[in-house]
Structure 1
Amino acid sequence: MQGEQSKGKKKRHVICMTSDFFYPNTGGVEEHIFNLSQCLIKRGHKVIVVTHSYGKRVGIRYLTAGLKVYYLPITVMYNQCALPTMICNIPLVRYVLIRECVEIVHAHSAFSVMGHEICIIGKLMGLKTVFTDHSLFGFADMSAVLTNKFLQICLSDCDHCICVSHTGKENTVLRAKVKAHKVSVIPNAVDAYSFTPDPSKRDPNVVTIVIVSRLVYRKGVDLMAAVIADMCPRYPNLRFIVGGDGPKMWLLQEIREKGFQHCVALLGSLPHSEVRDVLVKGDIFLNTSLTEAYCMAIVEAASCGLKVVSTKVGGIPEVLPENMIYLTEPNVSSLVAGIENAMKDLKEGKILCPYECNRKVRKMYNWLDISRRTEIVYDKISLNKNKTLGLQLRSYLSSGVWPFLLVISLMYLLLQLTERIHKRKHIDIARDLKL
């Protein structure tokens, strides 16, 4: 009888979500961390978030549902990422992990220096570690080679990895040399109750194409500009609404100044709370990404009832069923043909009802299901036995970068020195007194 009760009782985990990317910064990784944390809290777990400072936002803040966020006083080096010192932040990170009684460190994004650094520190402290990869990388250019090798080193001793698509899993297994059985596929999700359709906001006299994206090379802004320049002269009733900002904004501004001011609206950077209000004005959503592990934007657009036209790159073909998306090759002629097919189906009424699209997305992707699947990963790795320092060093040696063993050894020695100076029991007292 007692065995059955203990078997049915759900284990409560204390989780530290960590990444360089979090609120007030906006993006897919930030939304993923926030929503996953909220659902895990609802399921009875304790969750904290550790990130670096954002301007004057330093110290501890509390968000919805009591989500505790540590904005550590760590300087940003480039593109919202901290400097990869590996050793300078050890005392501070150790203090936070002990103070909050963390059991599992969950890092997000291959670009996040803080995520990898705190994962390694947590592993040396005997904690369990999970890493979620949100991106795809190539194998040829120098930046990809360096990133892949760094990722391979950092994931050498990670307990488990999560990828957001099956294509992403294959990519991570190949470039980071992670064993396939240690990688799970858990997709992103969308709050379909927030991204609801509203056909009354559409203009019936024109066909409106909405684009919401960061205007960077990876998002195919060059293709986007070429498609706009090709279609606007041929279709007078076509309108483009572009939300987002980035270094490639000048390209769209140039296109707009060539006599297309009446049919191209550039909204600039949008808060995530305003994205739905822009999406519901459109009939078609256009995504021109050149690489994508999982595109959150097309799911949000489909939830709002838009017909999606997208390049079939990375994990995008896995995301939506065929009757909700037009997949094209990443070139101008194919994208134009996809948009024309979508316009033809709109005219003939061969499309799903917007509210039916919302119901489908609600069933396919919801955060409670994602949190339940992530919880299974936490339960699984909590049974893993801790490795000795020698076995951990052997894991890092498998990456082939033997000088990194000196870095790990130095980190371990600094942790031992910090333990001598600031003993663990003193931190527990400070936590109990809420200091």
Structure 2
Amino acid sequence: MSVPMKETVEKRPQLDAAPLIVHVVRQFLPNRGGLEDVVANLARQTLKRGYRVRVVTLDSLFTAPENKLPARETIDGIEVVRIPWSGSRRYPVAPQVFRHIGDADLIHVHAIDFFFDALAWGRFLHRKPMVVTTHGGFFHTKKFLAIKKVWFRTLTRLSAIAYRRVICCSASDLSQFVQIVPDGMTIENGADVGKFADAASRTPERRIVTIGRFSVNKRLDLLLDATAVLLKRHPNWHLDIIGAESDLDAADVRREIAARSLQASVTLTVSPDNHAIRGIIAKASLMASASEYEGFGIVALEAMSAGLQPVLNTNEAYRVLARRHEEIILADFTRPELAADAIEKAYRNVTVEGLSLRKSLMQAAHAYSWDAVAERYIDLYRSIGIGT
């Protein structure tokens, strides 16, 4: 999660002739989440390397569709254009996107949704080169799975033909998309390893943080079940739930907390800024995620950069990370007793290994810095003739 810093920048004449990358994404700053973080960080890194950047996105947040955001804004030097939309948050329809791509040298679409399909089918009109980053596709939950599979193998397959490259952000994405795009490539997401760097408690604490959207697939209910088990074993356990409203709102989460009588041991913080999140992390030693699906697992890497010991559910993205980094502990959160065992093991590790574990976690996270990831994207842009 990141927090935008608003600023107004003057156009620099020397950049007027620089290639223009137009990122198209359904949600962007001031919304906070993994997708928004990726696009914002990539846009900032691209600006630093001499490109011009525009982000075209929807004119309201899914959590507050009635509150219209400014049609144009500059955030961190990024030109942001927001357009009206209709339909559902899963497939928001926003045809005005075509008004804002005419001067693009490259269109970079993020996620598999209306924008992905519409820009593909409209390629004979706009004639712009395009790439797409998958961001997990649309298999985040098993809901409507049969329909999703048919859609994926028909419309998604046809739309993908319009793109110069289909970029998967994880090994699990590649295994899915290689079925319809044999020449798909992988550029794993970067993580902002600076914003929470070295922030975790210096002393072992029975305190857990979880950070992310309040979404059904994040399975906060399972994490709360594990917390209830922990509290039966030791009364000092505490869970901090940090995030932004999504298909669950704050009231939904509070009901889940109250249903387990955990009000005294669980704190809910909605849409805090990064300074506030650092303050919460400073009291904790552990990070946990019961998510049943992740496109990549950025939040786990950000937690590691803070020095938090992660305990993660056994979804595919987290299994990939755990195979690379032995510090990560996996747990089956559908079994609360076993998840609680894993969390207690993590706490013992922090108590015994202390500073050495903290250093290992931070070093592992540093390998995913955006400097390195952005270079891979710039190399891709250059390979299709955008930039020198």
Check whether TM > 0.5.
Answer: yes
**8 Å Cα contact 1:198-1:280 kept in structure 2:** yes
Question: What is the Cα deviation at residue 40 of structure 1?
Answer: 0.7
2:304 is the counterpart of 1:294: no
Cα 1:313–1:80, aligned 2, differ >3 Å: closer, same or farther?
A: closer
Larger Rg: 1
SS of residue in 1 equivalent to 2:296: coil
Matches within 5 A, 1:188-207: 188-199=189-200, 201=201, 206-207=205-206
Question: What is the Cα deviation at residue 160 of structure 1?
Answer: 0.5
Question: What is the Cα deviation at residue 83 of structure 1?
Answer: 2.2
Aligned to 1:14: 20
Rounded to whole Å, the distance in 2 between the matches of 1:352 and 1:252 is 37
Task: Read off the aligned partner of 1:277 and give its amino acid letter.
Answer: G
Q: CA RMSD in A?
A: 2.8
2:87 is the counterpart of 1:82: no
Question: What is the Cα deviation at residue 351 of structure 1?
Answer: 6.4
Task: Read off the aligned partner of 1:70 and give its amino acid letter.
Answer: V
**8 Å Cα contact 2:221-2:256 kept in structure 1:** no
SS of residue in 1 equivalent to 2:377: helix
Rounded to whole Å, the distance in 1 between the matches of 2:97 and 2:111 is 19
Aligned to 1:338: 342
Question: What is the Cα deviation at residue 377 of structure 1?
Answer: 1.6
Matches within 5 A, 1:194-273: 194-199=195-200, 201=201, 206-244=205-243, 245-246=245-246, 247=248, 250=252, 253-256=255-258, 258-271=260-273
Question: What is the Cα deviation at residue 58 of structure 1?
Answer: 3.9
Identity of aligned residues (%): 21
Rounded to whole Å, the distance in 2 between the matches of 1:165 and 1:44 is 27
SS of residue in 2 equivalent to 1:134: coil
Matches within 5 A, 1:303-322: 303-319=305-321, 321-322=324-325
Matches within 5 A, 1:393-408: none
Tell me the alpha carbon deviations over residues 27-50 of structure 1, each in whole angstroms, 9 at most, x when there is no partner.
111111111011011111121111
Task: Read off the aligned partner of 1:134 and give its amino acid letter.
Answer: H
**8 Å Cα contact 2:116-2:159 kept in structure 1:** no
**8 Å Cα contact 1:52-1:76 kept in structure 2:** no
2:76 is the counterpart of 1:64: yes
> How many equivalent pairs are there?
355
**8 Å Cα contact 2:325-2:364 kept in structure 1:** no
SS of residue in 2 equivalent to 1:315: helix
Q: Which stretch of the first structure deviates more once superposed, 278-287 or 52-61?
A: 52-61
Question: What is the Cα deviation at residue 254 of structure 1?
Answer: 4.1
**8 Å Cα contact 2:199-2:278 kept in structure 1:** no
Rounded to whole Å, the distance in 1 between the matches of 2:68 and 2:216 is 31
SS of residue in 1 equivalent to 2:122: helix
Aligned to 1:391: none
**8 Å Cα contact 2:195-2:274 kept in structure 1:** no
2:152 is the counterpart of 1:151: no
Aligned to 2:279: 277
Tell me the alpha carbon deviations over residues 83-138 of structure 1, each in whole angstroms, 9 at most, x when there is no partner.
26xxxx3xx5444322xx3121100012x323432344346422111010111526
Q: Find the partner of 2:174 among 169, 172, 183.
A: 169
Rounded to whole Å, the distance in 2 between the matches of 1:260 and 1:223 is 13
Aligned to 2:368: 365
Aligned to 2:134: 133
Rounded to whole Å, the distance in 2 between the matches of 1:271 and 1:113 is 30
Question: What is the Cα deviation at residue 214 of structure 1?
Answer: 2.1
Aligned to 1:399: none
Aligned to 1:4: none
**8 Å Cα contact 2:24-2:110 kept in structure 1:** yes
**8 Å Cα contact 2:227-2:237 kept in structure 1:** no
Q: Find the partner of 2:383 among 380, 384, 389.
A: 380
Q: Normalising to structure 2: TM-score of the pair?
A: 0.82
SS of residue in 2 equivalent to 1:319: helix
Rounded to whole Å, the distance in 1 between the matches of 2:260 and 2:38 is 39
Question: What is the Cα deviation at residue 170 of structure 1?
Answer: 0.7
Task: Read off the aligned partner of 2:384 and give its amino acid letter.
Answer: I
Aligned to 1:419: none
Cα 1:242–1:269, aligned 2, differ >3 Å: closer, same or farther?
A: same
Rounded to whole Å, the distance in 1 between the matches of 2:237 and 2:52 is 50
Cα 1:353–1:126, aligned 2, differ >3 Å: closer, same or farther?
A: same
Rounded to whole Å, the distance in 2 between the matches of 1:213 and 1:97 is 31
Task: Read off the aligned partner of 1:33 and give its amino acid letter.
Answer: V
SS of residue in 1 equivalent to 2:343: helix
SS of residue in 2 equivalent to 1:106: strand
**8 Å Cα contact 1:225-1:251 kept in structure 2:** no
